[in-house]
Structure 1
Amino acid sequence: MNQKESNLPMVGAIIAAIGAGVCCVGPLLLLLLGISGSWISNLSAFEAYRPLFILAVMLLLSYTGWKIYRPIEQCESGRACAIPATRSRRKVIFWLVTVTAIVLLTSNDWILCFV
């Protein structure tokens, strides 16, 4: 698996998290930019797909975590997963992506505090 293929699950998880949070984060961003109006309340078209996005985030992050935290003995010699510095960097990126995804997924719960 090359570098781009190994990053694909993390990128997919972030995209799915954005999709899950777009119904709530989108109107907040518009309000923060000074754009307002009653039409903003109609920006919930993606709400019906939210469970699917959440499932996609969970599956992609689970797969990524499994790939990153698997024993080093399962990595082929010379592959990126066998290099300790690369493994450490990927773990940091994985946790940053996971925190970002959690913030986006839970945005409809905490966003009401700011509006």
Structure 2
Amino acid sequence: MQASERSASTRWATPGSVLAGLAAAIGASACCAGPLVLVLLGVGGAWGSRLVALEPLQPYFVAAALVFFGVASYRLYRGSERCAPDEVCAIPAVRRRQRVIFWSVSVLAAALMSFPLYAPLFY
């Protein structure tokens, strides 16, 4: 595989993992945070009751989010050794920016995934 093909295939690997982790975290909190958001938006309770059906899938969403964030953290912190000097991942400013975005999204995802623990405070 040539360097241009390899960099094109791995260019979105870390941001893709972070976005997939965020999507899984949103799925994990859909059963609990979703109805609250819908009530705050003025939507009736019928929509919220449909989201409760996602509650049995919450552990799978949490596991998927943890896997995706694990892959992203590995690529951000351990994958930099395998980065060629002419690739984007070799630029320190880009790596720093990716790490800031990773930790920001991770904190948001942790808040979403732990919402069932503090949801009774809002109801």
TM-score by length of structure 2 reads 0.83
| Residues in 2 aligned to 1:73 and 1:109: alpha-carbon distance in whole angstroms | 39
Against the structure 1 CA distance between its residues 93 and 22, is the aligned structure 2 distance closer, same or farther, given a 3 Å change threshold? same
User: Percent identity between the aligned chains?
Assistant: 37
Q: Which runs of 4+ in 1 moved over 4 A?
A: none
Equivalent residues in 2 for 1:35-114 (5 A)? 35-37=43-45, 40-41=48-49, 43-70=51-78, 72-114=80-122
Unaligned runs of 5+ in 1: none
| Post-superposition offset of 1:42 | 5.2
| Post-superposition offset of 1:79 | 1.3
| Post-superposition offset of 1:43 | 3.0
Unaligned runs of 5+ in 2: 1-6
Length, aligned pairs only: 115
**RMSD across aligned positions (CA):** 1.8
One-letter amino acid matched to 1:74: R
| Residues in 2 aligned to 1:35 and 1:6: alpha-carbon distance in whole angstroms | 36
| Residues in 1 aligned to 2:19 and 2:45: alpha-carbon distance in whole angstroms | 33
TM-score by length of structure 1 reads 0.88
Q: Greater RCO between the two (CA within 8 Å, min separation 6)?
A: 1
| Residues in 2 aligned to 1:8 and 1:73: alpha-carbon distance in whole angstroms | 20
